[in-house]
Amino acid sequence: MGKPILEVEFERYGEGNKLCLLVFLKNQRVKNRVLRKFGIRRDPIHSLTAQFRISEVGSGKIIDPIRQARIYSDEDPDDTGRYRVALPPTYSVSASFMTILWNPKINKAFIPPDRLRSELEIPPGYYQATFLVEVDGEPMNISRCFKIGQKIDDLVWVNDATLNRLK
The pLDDT value given to residue 94: 80
The pLDDT value given to residue 29: 79
Strands 62-68 and 120-122: unpaired
C-alpha 93: how far from its chain's center?
A: 12
pLDDT at 162 over 70: no
Q: Give the dihedral sign, CA 106/112/117/122.
A: negative
Closest CA to 49 of 77, 74, 68: 68
The pLDDT value given to residue 159: 84
The secondary structure of residue 42, as a DSSP letter, is B
